[in-house]
A = this chain, B = another copy of it.
């Protein structure tokens, strides 16, 4: 393995000169730059990442805090990761996967104190998130993919859940639906203060009121059978409902199956809109799900770019960016039949 000293000797210059052509931190004459580049090429030189990191106090690695639960990742989360990885690589950064949830605060403490990572991307953010407090105390650079209850002073990039719920409800109302159920994330998520669950719940309430229509929110496990149970509960509560909003991809499929078995036709008897859903999952259903398509990769990439800019600047001011999901009408929504009869 060739070192910088080897390159310097070969090019007939000093090590510092080689270093400077590499980092571009000071002007170098064209002639020596070429000599150095030639020497590096001949030796197949590649800078040693650890040495560089030690001397410069920067690893060029950012940590992705993503609790891996064993239940797997949804398409949206995967897209966050993909977008972040891509954006990091374009900037010459690497991404380290750290399975660190709100409860693993001391592990994060270790991670952040080791000086292995330049900054953090925090996923699966809770409304009250221990990781955020900790990172703040440690004066670490970080950007949230998601938001806490009180995001003032923080940097975060998130899906605009309020807007997404508004748009989804508006779509259903526009089709004449006046009794709408919202199948949210699980009871546990709600209780745990998971941001998307809480925010959409509030936005749903507000939307109902604004449009002067009625509805219920029902929590559901993120499984097909959870969705089945949830729609059952919803129909008990509101027997005449014609519109359903689902937060949860797996539950959405369960709901379609349950409605079919109840001999209710989708979209004509009941219309269903799935939220924060990828096109791939939407097409899994039959009919294909009308969905609010999540800007997953864009969110991941945006968060990464914000973090990298801060690492460069040393900037630490508040930054908020909300990206809306966009409505894609497919086969599960239509004009309310009940509406037509009138």
Residue A167 at the chain B interface, CB threshold 8 Å: no
Residue A44 at the chain B interface, CB threshold 8 Å: yes
Interface stretch (choices A7-15, A188-196, A203-211, A277-285): A277-285
A327 to B86, CA, bound (A): 37
- Most B CB within 10 A of own CB, among A86, A114, A284: A284
- Interface residues in A75-122 by Cβ distance below 8 A to B read 75, 78-79, 81-82, 85-86, 89, 94-99, 110, 113-116
Contact pattern, A 207-227, Cβ under 8 Å of B = 1, otherwise 0: 000000000000000011100
The reply to whether B61 and A50 contact each other, CB–CB distance below 8 Å, is no
The reply to whether A224 and B283 contact each other, CB–CB distance below 8 Å, is yes
Min distance, Cβ A190 to any Cβ of chain B, angstroms: 21
The reply to whether A97 and B99 contact each other, CB–CB distance below 8 Å, is no
Contact pattern, A 116-134, Cβ under 8 Å of B = 1, otherwise 0: 1000000000000000000
Q: Which residues of B contact A260 (CB under 8 A)?
A: 286
Residue A47 at the chain B interface, CB threshold 8 Å: yes
The reply to whether A48 and B54 contact each other, CB–CB distance below 8 Å, is yes
The reply to whether A96 and B94 contact each other, CB–CB distance below 8 Å, is yes
Q: Which residues of B contact A68 (CB under 8 A)?
A: 81-82, 85-86
The reply to whether A85 and B97 contact each other, CB–CB distance below 8 Å, is yes
- Interface residues in A246-261 by Cβ distance below 8 A to B read 250, 253-254, 257, 260-261
Residue A262 at the chain B interface, CB threshold 8 Å: no
The reply to whether A278 and B72 contact each other, CB–CB distance below 8 Å, is yes
Copy number in this complex?
Answer: 2
Residue A270 at the chain B interface, CB threshold 8 Å: no
Q: Give the 6 A-B residue pairs with the shortest CB-CB distance, closest first.
A: A49-B116, A257-B286, A46-B113, A50-B53, A50-B54, A68-B82
Q: Which residues of B contact A26 (CB under 8 A)?
A: none
The reply to whether B72 and A72 contact each other, CB–CB distance below 8 Å, is no
Residue A153 at the chain B interface, CB threshold 8 Å: no
Residue A71 at the chain B interface, CB threshold 8 Å: yes
Residue A314 at the chain B interface, CB threshold 8 Å: no
Closest to A113 in B: B46
The reply to whether A114 and B47 contact each other, CB–CB distance below 8 Å, is yes
Q: Which residues of B contact A113 (CB under 8 A)?
A: 1, 44, 46
Residue A70 at the chain B interface, CB threshold 8 Å: yes
Closest to A116 in B: B49
A53 to B53, CA, bound (A): 10
Q: Which residues of B contact A285 (CB under 8 A)?
A: 224, 253
Q: What would 24 A/B residue contacts be, using CB atoms closer than 8 Å?
A: A46-B113, A48-B54, A48-B115, A49-B59, A49-B116, A50-B54, A50-B57, A53-B53, A53-B54, A61-B96, A68-B82, A72-B75, A72-B78, A72-B278, A73-B73, A81-B97, A94-B116, A225-B283, A250-B283, A250-B284, A253-B284, A254-B286, A257-B286, A284-B284
The reply to whether A110 and B46 contact each other, CB–CB distance below 8 Å, is yes
Contact pattern, A 39-75, Cβ under 8 Å of B = 1, otherwise 0: 0000010111111011001010100100010111101
Instruction: Select one of B44, B46, B89, B250 contacting A99, CB under 8 A.
Output: B89
Instruction: Select one of B59, B72, B89 contacting A82, CB under 8 A.
Output: B72
A313 to B19, CA, bound (A): 35
The reply to whether A85 and B72 contact each other, CB–CB distance below 8 Å, is no
Q: Which residues of B contact A99 (CB under 8 A)?
A: 82, 85-86, 89
